[in-house]
Structure 1
């Protein structure tokens, strides 16, 4: 397993045209740290925090670099709410009770600095956010992130849940935009007019 982790890291470095010394310095280690791990097996295993940083940097699972795969009982359970966020004309939330649960790897959530207690999954309806989001997509919403910054958010407009792109303007103005140009956008709104529910951090889609 240790040899597989070293080979995987070496392959990532070659593929991305990285170098040992730069990665070592990113970890706060001496410049030879990564090279020694790969070529000499010293240390035998990557430090947990080093492995986490490298996995985040390369966008891969920690298991690829020698971390253990999360067992089913270790996975974080996130509620799937019985509501829909419209990417069209607007859908009212009749209820907000869990109808199911999705499980996520805790190391993946930590890599995104997400608090599981603030997460929920809801479904997108409509096509006003196409091609970014499609009708029927499941989206992971971080209700703990209600900061005004560029990104895709679930927000409440006239009592209805919508998923839209938020764009900051000078001063305290924002634009709420539909990615599909067929649908309207709302420019130059005061931030006080915008009720943010949470930031969209992941989307899942059924194929076929």
Structure 2
């Protein structure tokens, strides 16, 4: 079974190295693809310096969805594809826990369930909206609906013409995958990443998330 890891990255020069080193240490991984989404720092230079990593650079910042779609065109004959954020650092090795249930035939998709945040974020509105939306449309009760760390059997990703863009992508994909009858499993991991705090930029980010998820859910009503 061939396993590929896809890492979209934007201005992650401080973390991309550690993220790659954690994954490169896993014998189960056959291919690592990094897509630098038009970073203004040395993200691409650092990623491309690692042997065993295929790094690509987009000329301008086009968003995570675009970077993921571009990266999928570069992946070669994978049976399992892992989406991994560039900011998880040395905890990236935890993706092994996402891969094993798929290899063992337990499920078609795994979603990383992170430990509780180390610092206070928002007030839980975005998480509640995401969880409620998934339950409304599928009946499934999932806790990590916003997590971007996921592993998929290739045939699951084949149901999408393209990975949607925007902050509602994970919620929309989860709904579509469950509706198609694929089995999804949440897997506890000890990953960490850059957390959004209770400052102006943090509330702006969560506001965008809430809006994008709301739009995705509204669209589901009319499909």
Q: TM-score, normalised by structure 2?
A: 0.24
Normalised by the size of structure 1, how large is the TM-score? Answer: 0.25
> Rg: which structure is higher?
1
Q: Which has the higher helix share?
A: 2
Quick one: higher RCO (CA 8 Å, sep 6+), 1 or 2?
2
- Tell me which protein shows more strand as a share of its residues: 1
